[in-house]
């Protein structure tokens, strides 16, 4: 369990520092200047979902990134009216989803459901833009990290799908076959 | 010949100013005259007493006589004063009463003027004419008869008295009046000309300001401030020059009056003094003569002022009436028959419509529409389809040809015939300030005169038909109800709360932290956690609590004040440090106990403070406010030390027991749906309402009352829960009550608090409720989303088919297949008509239009 989830006997100001410390463990926020990090910590919203609840649905307008504080989240997608499981995220592996929402407005192309009781932090695109507006020098590196995170997730998802792909889908490299 | 409103009598704008004065409230005016006559005696009588006091009482040294005359003198003066007071009051009363009638009748006339009139007329001109300019006439109206009659009679009586005292002296002192009779009218004419120009300039200036305010968005958008300023500047300058000249003349008149007034005593002292020295005139008579001369000038001055006032009022009156000097084109009510009940057979024969500039918008239109037929009018933009609809609705009058309904010429039908039988929905409907309900019933009320209102079931059905139900429910849920407003529905609202608390508890618990007297509430403020209720007198609002002696005493007794001050200090410090670069952006303060406009104040406070527990009251109160607003799960700026939770729960119990005297255990026992009203243990008497399941919280919205807890996050309080609750409430038929409250939602000026779609739906429901046999829709669904548009279209097809004649001006051609007939217009002429399939097969203009739309 992460420190943001624990109620503490510390002084009045520990909540913000706990969240900031939690955020620093994410690749996207890891090297952010202290001013930027504390603003994100301040603007992050806590969301809690009980097991089985839909966190976001395919086709809805995206507006925020989610960071998993505790619990597991099932990422899935419908294709040809069949439900395909893509990833099971938990706080100790790939523990974020919806990162592209920080950069652009689009409709979610996947859904997320609470696999267990889940505690999340979310940061909205509006908050991201407001902070970046004040710290433009950090913007480029943040965007790069968001894209890297996305690639990381893509590789993970592709690996999972390839593991489960039917044998018929396998083809030899045509160039090698002709040779 | 076309019948017009003139048939009912003299047109209001042709009446003279004295028409109103001589024909209205005559008995009251006669009574006023009578008082005036009586008052005259009491004006002259004191003069006679003056003379006798000097000549008889003082001269004969008779004390008794002195007392008698002085008594009579003061008695007469008092009665004269009281009568003058009565005359003034009565005068204003009559004037305002006439003004009221004039304004009402004129407004009625103005509203009936044809639409073309308003195309030329600036709203500012009409507004200023109906308000300020008429007011100025009102002051004149009251005294229009009384003042000249009083003045002339007073003048004559005093002159008579002066002749009675000494004819020669009287003649001499009268000598100056004829000179004045030439000078003053000369100046007055000059004044009138300037005044007339002043009224016109002021009006033009008002129009410019009015237009700027109406188009303020455009001005901001174009940064055209100096352009607009320039427009007004020329009028300001003109007005300045006019006012200068006007006052030069005005004070010239005043000077002339004063000069002539002073000339009189000069003659009197010279000649009267000479006569008195020579013993030809008694001293008493001279004093009385001087008093009489002074008094005789008052009515003279009043007459001159009256003349000025009359000229002024006359100019204003003629200018106002001049603006509206045309006949309403149709009678309001029918003559010698009842209002018609029409079936809806519409016939247009060779109809041509030309605008005043000479442009012909419609040419030779002939069209037969059967009763209950549904017609779509389509065409390129500017083809005249809307104009055609407006002609059928009698909003425009044809230039040539005829429009008739059920064989009656539309020209001959009165307004009420049309009002009862035709419902019209404009593309951009106008919504009046007032409630949703008032707007819905606007059309029905206008034609029924208050009778035959649709029942609640029909109103709710109309709202449902146009898809306005969810909006009305939302308005209802956001309403904060007073005990009186809530009383009829309170039990039902508490039942809704009970449904959420029992059968839907599991689902709602994810999104709502319910009020529970035994638990600390993490999604509620510390204030809510301690006070755990609300006072209808607003005694315990956050901003007042730090100054509430019993509350502060309680915090000190429980050693809670210091931790709260420390918390407030931490919030202030963290916020000031974190947000100093964002102190102008409201976004960063949404989840902070400090508000944007308080930033500087707290910033200053922190510079002064040496530690978290200041001595001075103001600083303590500021820090306490922040702490009391703090919501642990919402405000991440600081942490709530867990030791405080228990202390706050103890404070809650003490607050209930000692400050508001509420027995929560007793109140909780009443939670079986029975409101705990009259029992003092429930707090009702002291005006305090605890968060107790059996109590309605009058300071909260209806939604807060139903949820009975704090929303954990708007993000998780989603549509799913709303639908779940709506369904449960609908099953128990509780939603109608919420809609009833929602119908009382105030829509704001011009319906500004509604979205474009909501306004349009409201206008459609308003027309449906009127239930007229003919429905004219001028692109009535154009601003609605596709779902709402389809919903209305479905209604026309299912509910109105065979029941109403519908003429719909339509832009979106995919809606046309449902209509019985499509009429295609091009450049003011009908070029095609037929069913959708026929027209598509013909591959003519409609086909081309469809292709271009696609």
DSSP A117-149: SEEEEEEEHHHHHHHHHH-HHHHHHHHHHHHHH
The CA distance from B575 to B637, in Å, is 7
Determine the distance from the C-alpha atom of residue B292 to the mean position of all C-alpha atoms in its chain, rounded to a whole number: 52
Q: In CATH terms, is domain B334-431+754-854 a member of 3.40.50.300? A: yes
Question: Which CATH class for the B5-323 domain?
Answer: mainly alpha
Contact A4/B at CB under 8 A = no
Which of A9, A13, A16 lies closest to B642 in CB terms?
A: A9
pLDDT confidence of residue B853: 64
Q: Is the pLDDT of residue A174 over 80?
A: no
Angle in degrees, CA B167, B171, B172, rounded to 5: 120
CB contact under 8 A, A13 and B570: yes
Q: Say how many CA atoms lie within 13 Å of A115 toward its Cβ.
A: 16
User: Residues in chain A, how many?
Assistant: 179
Which of A39, A47, A50 lies closest to B715 in CB terms?
A: A47
pLDDT confidence of residue B51: 82
- What's the whole-number average pLDDT of chain A? 84
Give B559's strand partners. none
Q: Could you identify the residue written with the tokens 């107790």?
A: B692
pLDDT confidence of residue B672: 47
Q: How far is B642 from chain A (nearest CA, A)?
A: 6
**A46-161: CATH homologous superfamily?**
Jelly Rolls (2.60.120.10)
Contact A13/B at CB under 8 A = yes
CB contact under 8 A, A41 and B641: no
The CA distance from B553 to B561, in Å, is 9
The CA distance from B317 to B14, in Å, is 11
Reference B526, options B696, B645, B655; nearest CA is B645
pLDDT confidence of residue A176: 61
The CA distance from A171 to A156, in Å, is 21
Hey, how many other C-beta atoms are within 10 angstroms of the C-beta on B687? 14
The CA distance from B788 to B467, in Å, is 7
| B703-761 pLDDT tens trace | 899 999 998 877 666 677 778 888 888 887 778 888 888 999 998 888 889 988 899 99
Q: Which residues of B touch A33 (CB under 8 A)?
A: none
Helical residues (DSSP H) of A12-124, grouped into ranges: 14-24, 34-43
CB contact under 8 A, A11 and B567: no
pLDDT confidence of residue B619: 93
pLDDT confidence of residue A175: 67
pLDDT confidence of residue B521: 94
**What per-residue string of b and e applies to B499-527 under the rule 16 or more CB within 10 Å gives b?**
bbbeebeebbebbbbbbebeebbbbbbbb
Q: Say how many CA atoms lie within 13 Å of B284 toward its Cβ.
A: 15
Q: Which two tokens stand for residue A174?
A: 């045509």
Helices B176-214 and B283-323 cross at an angle (nearest 10°) of 30
pLDDT confidence of residue B61: 85
Q: Are A52 and A118 in contact (CB under 8 A)?
A: no
Contact B640/A at CB under 8 A = yes
**What per-residue string of b and e applies to B147-174 under the rule 16 or more CB within 10 Å gives b?**
bbbbbebbbebbbebbeebbeebbebbe
Q: How far is B510 from chain A (nearest CA, A)?
A: 7
Give A107's strand partners. A61
Angle in degrees, CA B581, B582, B587, rounded to 5: 165
User: Strands B346-354, B360-369: parallel, antiparallel or unpaired by DSSP?
Assistant: antiparallel
Largest CA distance in chain A: 72
Residues 6 or more apart whose CB falls under 8 angstroms from that of B756 comprise: B783
CB contact under 8 A, A15 and B713: no
pLDDT confidence of residue B270: 83
The DSSP letter of residue B746 is: B
Contact A114/B at CB under 8 A = no
Alpha-carbon distance values, B495 to B492, B707, B722, B733 (Å): 5, 11, 16, 11
Give A66's strand partners. A97, A122
Mutate to test the interface with B, among A12, A40, A101, A117 (most CBs of B within 10 A): A12
| A2-14 pLDDT tens trace | 555 544 444 555 6
Q: Which two tokens stand for residue B746?
A: 């105030």
Its ipTM equals: 0.86
Residues 6 or more apart whose CB falls under 8 angstroms from that of B757 comprise: B783, B784, B785, B788
Q: Are B28 and B356 in contact (CB under 8 A)?
A: no
pLDDT confidence of residue B728: 81
Domain boundaries, chain A: 46-161
Q: Which two tokens stand for residue B748?
A: 């704001």
Residue B415 buriedness (CB in 10 A; 0-12 / 13-18 / 19+): buried
The alpha carbons of chain A give a radius of gyration, in whole angstroms, of 19
User: Strands B374-379, B821-826: parallel, antiparallel or unpaired by DSSP?
Assistant: parallel
pLDDT confidence of residue B800: 87
Q: How far is A135 from chain B (nearest CA, A)?
A: 11
Which bin fits B147, alpha (ψ -120 to 50), beta or left (φ > 0)?
Answer: alpha
The CA distance from B620 to B609, in Å, is 10
Hey, how many other C-beta atoms are within 10 angstroms of the C-beta on B814? 14
Domain boundaries, chain B: 5-323, 334-431+754-854, 480-712
The CA distance from B542 to B642, in Å, is 22
The CA distance from B626 to B569, in Å, is 8
Q: Say how many CA atoms lie within 13 Å of B397 toward its Cβ.
A: 18
Which bin fits A71, alpha (ψ -120 to 50), beta or left (φ > 0)?
Answer: left
Contact A133/B at CB under 8 A = no
Phi, psi of B86 (to 5 degrees): -65, -40
Q: How far is A58 from chain B (nearest CA, A)?
A: 15
Q: Are A100 and A150 in contact (CB under 8 A)?
A: yes
The DSSP letter of residue B713 is: -
Alpha-carbon distance values, B849 to B114, B397, B812, B832, B841 (Å): 34, 29, 10, 12, 13
CB contact under 8 A, B591 and A46: no
Reduced to 3 states (helix: H, G, I; strand: E, B; else coil), residue B774 is strand
Contact A53/B at CB under 8 A = yes
Alpha-carbon distance values, B304 to B91, B294, B307, B310 (Å): 18, 16, 5, 10
| Residue ranges of chain B with per-residue pLDDT less than 50 | 1-8, 672-675
Reference A69, options A103, A107, A95, A105; nearest CA is A95
């Amino acid at each position: 369990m992460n420190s943001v989830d624990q109620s503490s006997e510390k002084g009045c100001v520990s909540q913000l520092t706990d969240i900031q410390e939690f955020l620093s463990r994410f690749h996207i926020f890891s090297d952010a200047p202290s001013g930027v990090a504390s603003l994100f910590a301040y603007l992050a919203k806590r969301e809690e979902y009980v097991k089985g609840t839909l966190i976001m649905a395919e086709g809805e307008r995206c507006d925020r990134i989610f960071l998993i504080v505790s619990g597991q989240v099932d990422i899935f997608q419908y294709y040809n009216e069949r439900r395909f499981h893509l990833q099971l995220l938990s706080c100790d592996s790939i523990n974020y989803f919806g990162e592209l929402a920080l950069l652009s407005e689009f409709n979610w192309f996947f859904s997320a459901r609470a696999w267990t009781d889940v505690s999340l932090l979310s940061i909205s695109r509006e908050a991201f833009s407001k902070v970046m507006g004040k710290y433009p020098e950090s913007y480029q590196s943040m965007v790069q990290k968001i894209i890297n995170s996305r690639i990381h997730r893509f590789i993970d998802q592709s690996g999972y799908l390839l593991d489960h792909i039917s044998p018929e889908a396998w083809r030899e490299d045509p160039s090698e076959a002709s040779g | 010949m076309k019948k017009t409103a003139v048939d009912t009598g003299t047109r209001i704008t042709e009446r003279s100013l004295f028409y109103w004065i001589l024909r209205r409230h005559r008995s009251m005016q006669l009574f006023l005259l009578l008082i005036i006559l009586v008052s005259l005696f009491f004006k002259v009588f004191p003069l006679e007493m003056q003379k006798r006091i000097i000549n008889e009482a003082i001269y004969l040294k008779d004390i008794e006589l002195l007392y008698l005359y002085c008594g009579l003198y003061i008695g007469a003066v008092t009665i004269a004063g009281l009568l003058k007071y009565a005359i003034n009051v009565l005068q204003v009363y009559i004037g305002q009463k006439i003004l009221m009638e004039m304004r009402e009748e004129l407004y009625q006339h103005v509203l009936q003027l044809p639409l073309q009139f308003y195309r030329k007329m600036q709203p500012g001109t009409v507004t200023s004419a109906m308000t300020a300019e008429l007011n100025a006439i009102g002051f004149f109206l009251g005294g229009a008869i009384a003042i000249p009659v009083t003045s002339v009679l007073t003048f004559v009586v005093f002159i008579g008295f002066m002749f009675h005292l000494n004819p020669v002296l009287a003649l001499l002192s009268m000598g100056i009046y004829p000179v004045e009779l030439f000078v003053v009218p000369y100046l007055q004419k000059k004044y009138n000309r300037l005044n007339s120009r002043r009224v016109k300039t002021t009006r033009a200036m008002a129009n410019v300001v009015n237009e700027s305010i109406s188009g303020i968005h455009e001005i901001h958008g174009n940064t055209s401030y100096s352009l607009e300023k320039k427009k007004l500047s020329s009028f300001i300058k003109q007005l300045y020059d006019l006012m200068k000249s006007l006052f030069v003349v005005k004070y010239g008149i005043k000077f002339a009056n004063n000069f002539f007034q002073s000339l009189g005593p000069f003659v009197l002292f010279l000649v009267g003094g000479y006569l008195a020295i020579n013993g030809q005139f008694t001293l008493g008579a001279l004093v009385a003569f001087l008093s009489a001369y002074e008094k005789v000038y008052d009515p003279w001055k009043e007459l001159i002022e009256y003349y000025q006032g009359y000229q002024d009022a006359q100019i204003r009156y003629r200018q106002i009436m001049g603006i509206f000097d045309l006949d309403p084109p149709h009678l309001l009510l029918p003559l010698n028959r009842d209002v018609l009940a029409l079936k809806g057979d519409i016939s247009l024969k060779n109809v041509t419509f030309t605008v005043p500039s000479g442009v012909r918008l419609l040419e030779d239109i002939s069209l037969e529409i059967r009763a209950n037929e549904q017609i779509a009018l389509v065409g390129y933009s500017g083809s005249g389809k809307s104009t055609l609809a407006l002609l059928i609705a009698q909003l425009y009058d044809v230039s040539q040809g005829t429009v008739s309904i059920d064989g009656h010429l539309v020209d001959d039908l009165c307004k009420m015939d049309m009002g009862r039988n035709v419902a019209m929905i404009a593309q951009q409907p106008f919504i009046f300030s007032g409630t949703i309900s008032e707007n819905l019933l606007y059309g029905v009320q206008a034609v029924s005169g208050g009778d035959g209102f649709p029942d609640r079931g029909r109103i709710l059905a109309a709202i449902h038909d146009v898809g306005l139900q969810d909006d009305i429910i939302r308005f209802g849920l956001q309403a904060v109800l007073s005990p009186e407003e809530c009383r009829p529905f309170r039990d039902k609202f508490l039942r809704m709360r009970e449904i959420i608390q029992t059968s839907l508890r599991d689902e709602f618990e994810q999104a709502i932290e319910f009020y529970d007297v035994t638990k600390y509430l993490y999604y509620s403020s510390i204030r809510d956690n301690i006070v755990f209720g609300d006072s209808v007198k607003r005694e315990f609002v956050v901003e007042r609590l730090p100054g509430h002696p019993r509350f502060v005493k309680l915090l000190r007794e429980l050693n809670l004040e210091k931790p709260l001050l420390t918390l407030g200090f931490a919030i202030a410090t963290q916020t000031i440090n974190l947000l100093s670069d964002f102190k102008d952006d409201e976004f960063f303060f949404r989840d902070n106990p400090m508000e944007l406009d308080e930033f500087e104040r707290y910033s200053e406070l922190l510079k002064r403070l040496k530690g978290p527990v200041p001595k001075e009251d103001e600083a303590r109160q500021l820090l306490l406010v922040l702490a009391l607003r703090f919501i642990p799960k919402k405000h991440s700026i600081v942490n709530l030390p867990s030791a405080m939770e228990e202390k706050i729960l103890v404070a809650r119990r003490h607050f209930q027991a000692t400050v508001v005297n509420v027995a929560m255990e007793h109140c909780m026992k009443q939670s079986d749906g029975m409101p705990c009203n009259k029992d003092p243990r429930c707090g009702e008497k002291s005006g305090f309402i605890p968060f107790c399941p059996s109590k309605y919280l009058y300071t909260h919205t209806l939604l807060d009352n139903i949820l009975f807890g704090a929303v954990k996050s708007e993000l998780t309080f989603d549509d799913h829960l709303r639908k779940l609750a709506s369904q449960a409430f609908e099953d128990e038929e509780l939603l109608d009550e919420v809609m009833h409250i929602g119908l009382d939602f105030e829509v704001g000026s011009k319906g500004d608090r509604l979205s474009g779609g909501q306004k349009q739906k409201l206008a459609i429901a308003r027309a449906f409720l009127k239930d007229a046999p003919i429905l004219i829709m001028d692109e009535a669904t154009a601003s609605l989303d596709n779902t709402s548009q389809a919903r209305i279209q479905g209604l026309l097809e299912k509910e109105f088919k065979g029941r109403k004649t519908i003429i719909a001006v339509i832009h979106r051609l995919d809606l046309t297949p449902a209509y019985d007939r499509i009429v295609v217009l091009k450049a003011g002429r009908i070029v095609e008509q037929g069913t959708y399939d026929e027209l598509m097969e013909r591959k003519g203009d409609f086909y081309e239009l469809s292709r271009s739309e696609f």
